[in-house]
Amino acid sequence: MTSNSPVSVIAIDDHPAILSGVEAWCAASRRPINVVATGNSVRDAWTAPGSTADVVILDLQLKEGGPAFGGLRRLVDEGRQVVVYSMRDDEATAVNCLDLGAATFLTKNEGRDHLVEATLAAADERPYMPPALAGALGTNARADRPRLSSREENVLIEWFQSESKELVAQRLNISVRTVNSYLDRVRIKYANVGRPARTKASLVARAIQDGLVDVEDL
């Protein structure tokens, strides 16, 4: 996918106001994002026109019951790029979604600032790290977590705290570019551990191809 070609998405949420918000943000994007379908169930992503969308924006907490981890897993196994967009703000859920193979994890608070960018990054199979996710990864204590350097952990936590890459860069006396590369590297390290998934593999492959990480790093 070229860096300016239009991106098609399906937004799944059981709250109409959220769907309207998503549509509005997508319409305002510099790079065209077409919301080809909206729905209130994961099933909508399997039927046309939802099944053709490049990216699935998925609310985890649908009417059907608990978190839709099962629905997420099936979409990922089919090779779909899923941006999880959730009310849940706990680190366990975030880390779980990444492990299952979601492209990224966003809390509803972060929608305005990050949803469009996260969607575009998912369409391009590029890593994207919003602050809430960074906080979850920075404090992740699961046994299967990848090994991070202390600098990487610091960048994660400070990005979570300040929500400003400028402030992080200033604090650590590095450039915003370097802050981004730390965040990308962490995201790739996470894609390289845990449950195997096609989306994770393509993320790693793309990162190596773009020179974001060395094969030796992994």
Partner 1 sequence: MTLTLERYGVMLRSTIFCLCGALGVVSADPAKVPLVLTLLLPALLACCVRLRSLHRPLPPTLLLVSDAAVVVLTGLSQPVLGGDVADAMVEAIVGISVITFQHEWATRPVVGFTLAALGAVVCALGDMFSSPAHGADAVHLARMLVEVGLSRGAHVIVRARARAADRSAATRAALRREAEVAAARRATEREHLATLHDTACATLLMVSQGDDQDWSWLPLRAARDLDALSAMPGFGTESIDLSVLLGCVPEGVGQARVQVKLLVTGPLAIPSGPGLAIFNGVREAVANVARHAGVREAELRAWTEDGAVVVELSDAGRGFAPESVPARRRGISASIVGRMKAVGGSASVASRPGAGTRVQWRWQERPPASPPTDGTRAAGLPGPPGARAQRAAVVRFIRGQLLQGARLAALLISLVAQFTVSLGQLTAHQDVYGPAWAQTSAFICLAAVAATGGAYLLRGRRIPPRVRGWSVGAVLAVSATGAFTLPPERLAGPEDWVFGLIGWHALFLLADLRVRVLAVFLGAHVGLNTLAMFVLGSPTVAESTGMGLSTVSTCGFQFSVGVLLMHLLHDGAPAAGSAAAREEELRTRERIHEGMQRDHKERYRALTATTVPLLAGLGHGVLSPHDDDVRLRCGVEAARMRRLFAESDAVADPLLNELRACVEVAEHQGVTVSLAIRGRRKEVPVEVRRDLIDPVAVVLGHTRTTARVTVVWTPRAVRVSVVGQDFADGRRTGDLVRAHHRASASKVALAKGAHRGSVWVETMWEAPITSGVDLT
Nearest CA among 91, 72, 92 for reference residue 82: 72
Told to check if 166 binds partner 1 by CB under 8 A, we report yes
Which of 163, 181, 202, 208 touches partner 1 by CB under 8 A?
A: 163
Told to check if 193 binds partner 1 by CB under 8 A, we report no
Told to check if 162 binds partner 1 by CB under 8 A, we report yes
Told to check if 147 binds partner 1 by CB under 8 A, we report no
Told to check if 136 binds partner 1 by CB under 8 A, we report yes
Which of 61, 161, 181, 192 touches partner 1 by CB under 8 A?
A: 161
Q: Six-digit token pair at 1?
A: 């996918």
Told to check if 109 binds partner 1 by CB under 8 A, we report yes
Told to check if 171 binds partner 1 by CB under 8 A, we report yes
| Piece in contact with partner 1 (CB under 8 A), picked from 7-15, 38-46, 64-72, 132-140 | 132-140
- Sorted by sequence, the CB contacts under 8 Å of residue 85 that are 6+ apart come out as 13, 22, 57, 58, 59, 106, 108, 111, 115
Q: Half-sphere exposure (CA, 13 Å, Cβ side) for 11?
A: 25
* Alpha helices (H) in 130-216, listed in sequence order: 131-138, 150-162, 165-172, 176-191, 198-209
Told to check if 178 binds partner 1 by CB under 8 A, we report no
| Piece in contact with partner 1 (CB under 8 A), picked from 23-31, 120-128, 162-170, 188-196 | 162-170
Nearest CA among 111, 148, 153, 109 for reference residue 134: 153
Query: Would you call 67 helix, strand, or coil by DSSP?
Result: strand
Measured between alpha carbons, how far is 107 from 59 in angstroms, rounded to an integer?
10
∠ CA 99-148-125, nearest 5°, is: 45
∠ CA 182-116-181, nearest 5°, is: 10
Q: Which is nearer to partner 1, 47 or 170 (CB)?
A: 170
Told to check if 51 binds partner 1 by CB under 8 A, we report no
Told to check if 139 binds partner 1 by CB under 8 A, we report yes
Q: Which is nearer to partner 1, 40 or 178 (CB)?
A: 178
Told to check if 61 binds partner 1 by CB under 8 A, we report no
Residues of the shown chain interacting with partner 1 in the complex, contacts defined by CB under 8 A? 89, 91, 109, 132, 135-136, 138-139, 141, 153, 157-158, 160-164, 166-167, 170-171
